[in-house]
Structure 1
Amino acid sequence: MLIIAFAALLQATDDSTVPRKAVVNPRELMIEAIDAPDGSAHGMLTGEMAEALKRGFGTTAPLRIDVTTLKRYRQEGCRRLNVAFSQDDVRSPGAPGGGPRRIDFGIDYCRDGRPPSSRAEAE
């Protein structure tokens, strides 16, 4: 029984089952997350930026982007977002072989592309 529960947990956290849309610019997903009822958006970076990053990291693996809302601000359409870039088979200088890598950063962002004028949180 414990093994079945653990397998279900692993499957639930596997991001390969998350539907992803192709985007050329991460901002598209940031705006989608602002508007989403659950505050999240998932995509895969394509285009010139994605190809340059793949070359730089020595991999052909897709570059996944996950955006989640951390805080809602009072100012309409403004949020504190976590933007996570993840990719498999990334080769790091001085490290043997490749492996999965993830980079997260937080950003205060509004639909119009500017930061909020205030960090007062929504009630």
Structure 2
Amino acid sequence: MKLIDAVALLAAFALPVFADDVRRTPVPDARPLMLAALQAADGQAHGILSGDMADAITKRFGATSPIFIDVSTEKRYAQPGCSRLKVTFWQDGVLLPGATTARRQTMDFGINYCLDGRPPQSLR
């Protein structure tokens, strides 16, 4: 990575973005938000997908907003630093092929995740 690219990346992480009255941090993928949610007292983290892939998706569908990511804790497990997380990606103004009007598109998934990046040893 070039020094200038590294500086730009650090600057992007330092600039929080606000949407829906929620403080959002630009992230290259959901993992930093998943780790933040695991450590947050309220079990939540919010961000905006950034980078070439986010730009390509937004351009492809002519969307009117960035790609937002919300992570919330559904269940905390007995193993420290491990939880069941709900990860939601959403974007406004998405025009799908064959559709006549743009709308909000949402994708949710659940994942059992720990601070070390692995699943918990037990689901209790």
TM, length-normalised to structure 1: 0.80
Structure with bigger helix share is 1
Of stretches 90-99 and 23-32 in structure 1, the one that deviates more from structure 2 is: 90-99
Q: Which has the larger radius of gyration?
A: 1
Is structure 2 residue 110 aligned with structure 1 residue 113?
A: no
Aligned residues: 106
Q: Measure the CA separation in 1 of the matches of 2:115 and 2:60.
A: 30
TM, length-normalised to structure 2: 0.79
56 and 113 in structure 1: CA distance in 2 versus 1, 3 angstrom threshold: farther
**Which sections of structure 1, spanning at least 5 residues, go unmatched?**
1-14
Q: Deviation per CA, 1:10-53, whole angstroms, max 9, x where unpaired?
A: xxxxx611111111121000000000000000111101221232
> For 1:80-91, what aligned pairs fall within 5 Å after superposition?
80-91=84-95
**Which sections of structure 2, spanning at least 5 residues, go unmatched?**
1-18
Counterpart selection for 2:31 from 27, 33, 45: 27
- Runs of at least 4 residues off by over 4 Å: none
Is structure 2 residue 51 aligned with structure 1 residue 69?
A: no
Q: What residue number does 1:55 align with?
A: 59
Q: CA RMSD in A?
A: 1.3
Q: Measure the CA separation in 2 of the matches of 1:53 and 1:79.
A: 29
Q: Deviation per CA, 1:73-109, whole angstroms, max 9, x where unpaired?
A: 1111111000011100111121112111111111111
**TM-superposed deviation, 1:56:** 3.7
Q: What residue number does 1:100 align with?
A: 104
Is structure 2 residue 82 aligned with structure 1 residue 78?
A: yes
- Which secondary structure state, in structure 2, belongs to the residue aligned with residue 50 of structure 1? helix
- Which secondary structure state, in structure 2, belongs to the residue aligned with residue 100 of structure 1? strand
- Which secondary structure state, in structure 2, belongs to the residue aligned with residue 59 of structure 1? coil
Q: What residue number does 1:37 align with?
A: 41
- Which secondary structure state, in structure 1, belongs to the residue aligned with residue 37 of structure 2? helix
Identity over aligned residues, as a percent? 51
